[in-house]
A and B are shown apart, each in its own frame.
Chain A
Amino acid sequence: MLRQIEGSRAVADAVAMCRPEVICAYPITPQTHIVEALGAKVKAGQLRPCEFLNVESEFAAMSVAIGASAAGARAYTATASQGLLYMSEAVYNAAGLGLPIVMTVANRAIGAPINIWNDHSDAMSQRDAGWIQLYAETSQEALDLHIQAFRIAEDLSVPVMVCMDGFLLTHAYERADIPSPDQVDNFLPGYEPRQVLDPAAPVSIGAMVGPEAFTEVRYLAHARQSQALTLIPEVVAEFTKTFGRDSGGLVRGYRLEDADTVVVALGSVLGTIKDTVDELRGDGMRIGILGISTFRPFPSAAVREALGSDGRVKRLVVLERALATGVGGIVSADLRMALAGGGSGRAAEPVMSTVIAGLGGRAITRMSLRTMLAEAVAGALEPLSFLDLNKGLIEREFIRARRTRRSGPVAENMLRDQGLTARIG
């Protein structure tokens, strides 16, 4: 059923149809609308049986999900930003214990400075936590990915994080095709835990493992997560069959067939990039797009396949909504590893440029993308650059810092330079 619906509501509808038995959440912008909607459904008795727990922190939220999942319940939670970091210890733990929890991350920047707007710093910080990470491009895909996420998580006993851009997707009203509960039921069987706390068949879950087996435990976690690379395409195929649309997957190419320049990105920015690429194609530039839907496990083979092994692709522009401070790109590093993994027989690797963009909610405009991509095609793009970086602002701060040691908080200084705050005193 098609509806004009806020992204968060669409996700809430999808999650509800997945019949989670325990939902726990701590409010954090921009995740709130999702859990508010779910809370209302539970309270109204529309989602039964389901326990909705208002917990005292994200750490508790993930912990409740761990307990619920270990007790055999389908468990769901949602968070963002600081919240994801606050639960980080439990995020790792859920994966380590092999509990198929599904969590929405309404992607948001991490402070300080505190910032409520979108980027991928939060989810990226947890990329090695052992969770599968799926990134949604649209509200529709966010909705679809949640349905798939439960399938994938429970099939592998690995938790899945569905990442959707805060505000851009969570708060945007878009048209979405809301499936029927029957469709979801057909697609998603009841949860059959791989291990469960059951008095009839007791086990001890969460043993301490020492050096003698820790590497093996980690290897097995890696191997298990890697199975998702096979599973996800199968799930997507089945999803398409059930719901009549293609959604998610490992990677999604756009106009790659003859591209010599490929933009790699995740999430909602792909839409803007597509529009930009369409325009640049009109200008004769052979640009394509590789959207990464599954970031963990990293679909190295799929990436290589999409880019071809014939040397056609000369340039890669990796647009990242997160910054690995002191290094640069995060996705870029994985991409490099993926390409290196192709082995011999490949043509020369494409030149890779990392573009940090859209941090803390800065809009990624078509105009800026056009300029940047034109530079890239011209071979003039730096290996690492920051889209729309206000160099003047930075220069002034550098000067200030050189002048006096106590130059004050950088963020505030810059805001003041932009005339966005009143000077005090």
Chain B
Amino acid sequence: MNKPFAITLEVGSSRANQTGSWRTERPVYVDSLPPCNHACPAGENIQQWLYQGEDGSYENAWRQIMADNPFPAIMGRVCYRPCETACNRAQLDEAVGINSVERFLGDEALRQGWTMPVEAPPSGRRVLVVGCGPSGLSAAYQLTRLGHAVTIRDAGAAPGGMMRYGIPKYRLPRDVLDAEVQRIVDMGVTLELNTTVKDIQSLLRDGGAGEPDAGKNAGKDADGKFDAVFVAVGAHIGRRAYIPAGDSARILDAVSMLRDMEGEEPPLLGRRVAVYGGGNTAMDAARTARRLGASEAIVVYRRTRERMPAHDIEVKEALEEGVTMRWLSTITHADGGKLQIEKMALDETGFPQPTGEFTELEADCLVLALGQDADLSLLEGVSGVEFTDGVVQVSPELMTGYPGIFAGGDMVPGERTVTVGIGHGKKAARCIDAWLRSDHYTREPKHDLAPFGNLNTWYYEDAPATVRPQLDAARRTTSFDEVVGGLDASNALFEARRCLSCGNCFECDNCYGVCPDNAVIKLGVGERYQIDLNYCKGCGICVHECPSGSIKMVPEEA
């Protein structure tokens, strides 16, 4: 076409005009730390596995969990969900049901028989894990994946620690527990039950020739010493409080009571059971009592519901099951089927103060749920190991004062939950691995936290959380069937897709679509985007309209 001069132009010729020179600020894609990840004691990359779950890649999602936590099915039942407490979506409608998705993925893995490979070459190093609870199993799992040969020793008859002996069946069915533990064992972990460890130093020195159970395991340990030990024996000793009691008072501690549930004979509690304490164990004890036939299970607690350490969901479920609560009450005397209760009042600091008002409460049995202590005897006398307030002092790398002995779980300072224990196990494994290589474990620096305020929530569809089916209340008080059901694939998918992807790009194409200057380059699925700085004028619309707050403006340098 012999086009008229100047008036008629060749299309797209404005590319010669690089408008990027106008810019005073530039958009930069960032990755932030989502609050769920930040809150997870096990260090799960929750957002990432939700992301994988969103498109139905359940196995990938499960493997993402497994990178940090070998117990998705257990977690999906017993975790107290700090992730959901932290979830930004709670400020929009309701938190994402992270836990329910995790359970779905965990159960799906068990249904499908997914397993984890050990890809690292054998390191030739041997690590002993003492204690087969969540922390120990987590450490054993991670150490195995790192190529180390792991032996777990536990004094108990069955693996699982508090997961078995502390958490009632109706919260964690034992087939689930067994399956997830077995999966770890199948990776090559040597599990030695009914084995009490006495002399750690000797195990490190010479393979434990002097161990009382050495004979039993002689064939296994005789050929060498352990290069490191991770001690995670938990806190199994129920704390007793001094309560003046008559001879006929029946008082037991909750830890023992729950442990006995795993024995041949369930404990005999009577028709009216009082539980003293306000933690999760108190709830477990009261709910277990109901299932054992107690017509009344009364929780006696010194403060108010708001101040109860038990998680809300536990309290709620307990109340649903007919457990009753006596707030602001202490037990001052127990005898002959009667408890003397003193009313308390909170002072201005929120501390309960006696009021001098007394009432009586009929109870066939009093269960004390006042906390647990760790059995520290194994480490007592080990040079350099220090104790404070009944727990073992460890370095940030979870190593005790004795080189090569690491500790974690309920026996070290920190919150005592399964999830925390799993986190300790993972961290210990990484630190032990580093230590075995004469190195220090240094974790990647964390991204900045992704606050709710950085989100543009307009773009998320309105969707309240999916409610997990619950077992009928009548059946809940008569059986140990699991109370909370799981999601099916369709609602697990829905729930995963409620994730806001706080602080991390999930490729919604908004930046690409809303740029008035066509200055966002779409790199393709999984590759995200790139700003075309030759043309970006720096208007900031992409930042403002990014749903997940994954772009920020930074000043151009002069």
> Are B6 and A194 in contact, with the CB atoms below 8 A?
no
Is A395 in the interface zone, CB < 8 Å from B? no
Is B388 in the interface zone, CB < 8 Å from A? no
Is B525 in the interface zone, CB < 8 Å from A? no
- State the CA gap A246–B4 with chains docked (Å): 33
Q: Mark B8-36, 1 if CB is under 8 A from A, else 0.
A: 11110000000000000000000000000
Number of chain B residues close to chain A: CB under 8 A: 11
Is A159 in the interface zone, CB < 8 Å from B? no
> Are A205 and B7 in contact, with the CB atoms below 8 A?
yes
Indicate whether A209 sits within 8 Å of B8 (C-beta atoms), given known contacts A195-B1, A201-B1: no
Indicate whether A195 sits within 8 Å of B6 (C-beta atoms), given known contacts A201-B1, A203-B1: no
Is B242 in the interface zone, CB < 8 Å from A? no
> Are A205 and B5 in contact, with the CB atoms below 8 A?
no
Is A97 in the interface zone, CB < 8 Å from B? yes
- State the CA gap A201–B3 with chains docked (Å): 12
- State the CA gap A97–B3 with chains docked (Å): 10
> Are A203 and B6 in contact, with the CB atoms below 8 A?
no
B4 CB, nearest partner CB in chain A, Å: 5
Is B442 in the interface zone, CB < 8 Å from A? no
Is B91 in the interface zone, CB < 8 Å from A? no
> Are B9 and A195 in contact, with the CB atoms below 8 A?
no
Q: Mark A203-230, 1 if CB is under 8 A from B, else 0.
A: 1111101000100110010000000000
B15 CB, nearest partner CB in chain A, Å: 13
Within 8 A of B (CB), among A176-205: 194-196, 201-205
Is A96 in the interface zone, CB < 8 Å from B? yes
> Are A217 and B10 in contact, with the CB atoms below 8 A?
no
A15 CB, nearest partner CB in chain B, Å: 26
B7 CB, nearest partner CB in chain A, Å: 6
> Are A205 and B6 in contact, with the CB atoms below 8 A?
no
- State the CA gap A194–B8 with chains docked (Å): 11
> Are B4 and A97 in contact, with the CB atoms below 8 A?
yes
- State the CA gap A196–B2 with chains docked (Å): 10
> Are A157 and B4 in contact, with the CB atoms below 8 A?
yes
Beta-carbon nearest neighbor of B3 in chain A: A195
> Are A207 and B7 in contact, with the CB atoms below 8 A?
yes
- State the CA gap A207–B4 with chains docked (Å): 11
> Are B6 and A98 in contact, with the CB atoms below 8 A?
no
Q: Mark A91-129, 1 if CB is under 8 A from B, else 0.
A: 000001110000000000000000000000000000000
- State the CA gap A195–B1 with chains docked (Å): 6
- State the CA gap A202–B10 with chains docked (Å): 8
Choice from A196, A201, A206 contacting B7 with Cβ under 8 Å: A206
> Are A194 and B1 in contact, with the CB atoms below 8 A?
yes
B12 CB, nearest partner CB in chain A, Å: 9
Q: Mark B136-147, 1 if CB is under 8 A from A, else 0.
A: 000000000000
**Chain B contact residues, majority secondary structure:** loop
Beta-carbon nearest neighbor of A193 in chain B: B1
- State the CA gap A216–B4 with chains docked (Å): 11
Interfacial chain B residues near A97, Cβ < 8 Å: 4, 7
Interfacial chain A residues near B10, Cβ < 8 Å: 203-204
A193 CB, nearest partner CB in chain B, Å: 9
Interfacial chain A residues near B6, Cβ < 8 Å: 207, 209, 213, 216-217
Interfacial chain B residues near A96, Cβ < 8 Å: 7
> Are A217 and B11 in contact, with the CB atoms below 8 A?
no
**Most chain A CB inside 10 Å of its own CB: which residue of B1, B5, B7, B11:** B7
B11 CB, nearest partner CB in chain A, Å: 5
- State the CA gap A123–B534 with chains docked (Å): 51
- State the CA gap A209–B10 with chains docked (Å): 14
- Chain A interface size band reads 10 to 19
Indicate whether A205 sits within 8 Å of B11 (C-beta atoms), given known contacts A194-B1, A195-B1, A195-B3: no
- State the CA gap A207–B9 with chains docked (Å): 7
Interfacial chain B residues near A209, Cβ < 8 Å: 6-7
Interfacial chain B residues near A207, Cβ < 8 Å: 6-9
> Are A203 and B8 in contact, with the CB atoms below 8 A?
yes
> Are B5 and A217 in contact, with the CB atoms below 8 A?
yes
Beta-carbon nearest neighbor of B1 in chain A: A195
> Are B11 and A98 in contact, with the CB atoms below 8 A?
no
> Are A216 and B11 in contact, with the CB atoms below 8 A?
no
Interfacial chain A residues near B11, Cβ < 8 Å: 202-204
Interfacial chain A residues near B8, Cβ < 8 Å: 195, 203-207
Beta-carbon nearest neighbor of B4 in chain A: A98
> Are B7 and A217 in contact, with the CB atoms below 8 A?
yes
> Are A220 and B5 in contact, with the CB atoms below 8 A?
yes
B372 CB, nearest partner CB in chain A, Å: 77
Beta-carbon nearest neighbor of A217 in chain B: B6
A357 CB, nearest partner CB in chain B, Å: 39
- State the CA gap A207–B1 with chains docked (Å): 16
B417 CB, nearest partner CB in chain A, Å: 65
B2 CB, nearest partner CB in chain A, Å: 6
A214 CB, nearest partner CB in chain B, Å: 8
Interfacial chain A residues near B5, Cβ < 8 Å: 213, 216-217, 220
A133 CB, nearest partner CB in chain B, Å: 21
Interfacial chain A residues near B2, Cβ < 8 Å: 194-195
Interfacial chain B residues near A98, Cβ < 8 Å: 4, 7
Interfacial chain A residues near B9, Cβ < 8 Å: 203-204, 207
Interfacial chain B residues near A205, Cβ < 8 Å: 7-8
- State the CA gap A220–B8 with chains docked (Å): 14
Beta-carbon nearest neighbor of A212 in chain B: B6
- State the CA gap A203–B13 with chains docked (Å): 10
Interfacial chain B residues near A220, Cβ < 8 Å: 4-5
Interfacial chain B residues near A206, Cβ < 8 Å: 7-8
- State the CA gap A209–B8 with chains docked (Å): 10
A301 CB, nearest partner CB in chain B, Å: 26
- State the CA gap A157–B2 with chains docked (Å): 11
- State the CA gap A127–B386 with chains docked (Å): 106
- State the CA gap A213–B6 with chains docked (Å): 7
- State the CA gap A201–B10 with chains docked (Å): 10
Beta-carbon nearest neighbor of B14 in chain A: A204
- State the CA gap A194–B2 with chains docked (Å): 6
- State the CA gap A209–B5 with chains docked (Å): 10
- State the CA gap A203–B10 with chains docked (Å): 5
- State the CA gap A216–B2 with chains docked (Å): 17
> Are B7 and A194 in contact, with the CB atoms below 8 A?
no
Interfacial chain A residues near B3, Cβ < 8 Å: 194-195, 203
- State the CA gap A194–B5 with chains docked (Å): 12
**Most chain A CB inside 10 Å of its own CB: which residue of B4, B9, B10, B11:** B4
Interfacial chain A residues near B1, Cβ < 8 Å: 194-196, 201, 203
- State the CA gap A96–B7 with chains docked (Å): 8
Beta-carbon nearest neighbor of A205 in chain B: B8
Beta-carbon nearest neighbor of A213 in chain B: B6
B230 CB, nearest partner CB in chain A, Å: 70
- State the CA gap A201–B8 with chains docked (Å): 13
- State the CA gap A98–B10 with chains docked (Å): 17
Interfacial chain B residues near A204, Cβ < 8 Å: 8-11
- State the CA gap A204–B10 with chains docked (Å): 7
Beta-carbon nearest neighbor of A204 in chain B: B9
- State the CA gap A217–B9 with chains docked (Å): 13
B1 CB, nearest partner CB in chain A, Å: 6
B438 CB, nearest partner CB in chain A, Å: 68
Interfacial chain B residues near A217, Cβ < 8 Å: 5-7
Within 8 A of B (CB), among A211-259: 213, 216-217, 220
- State the CA gap A195–B8 with chains docked (Å): 8
- State the CA gap A157–B1 with chains docked (Å): 13
- State the CA gap A97–B7 with chains docked (Å): 7
A70 CB, nearest partner CB in chain B, Å: 10
A423 CB, nearest partner CB in chain B, Å: 57
**Most chain B CB inside 10 Å of its own CB: which residue of A96, A202, A207, A216:** A207
**Extra pairs beyond A194-B1, A220-B4 (9, CB < 8 Å):** A157-B4, A194-B2, A194-B4, A195-B1, A195-B2, A195-B3, A195-B8, A202-B11, A217-B6
Q: Can you list 8 residue pairs at the A/B interface with Cβ under 8 Å?
A: A96-B7, A194-B4, A195-B4, A202-B11, A203-B10, A206-B7, A207-B6, A217-B7
The 9 closest A-B pairs by CB, nearest first: A204-B9, A98-B4, A213-B6, A209-B6, A205-B8, A202-B11, A217-B6, A207-B9, A195-B8
- Interface set of B (CB-CB < 8 Å, partner A): 1-11
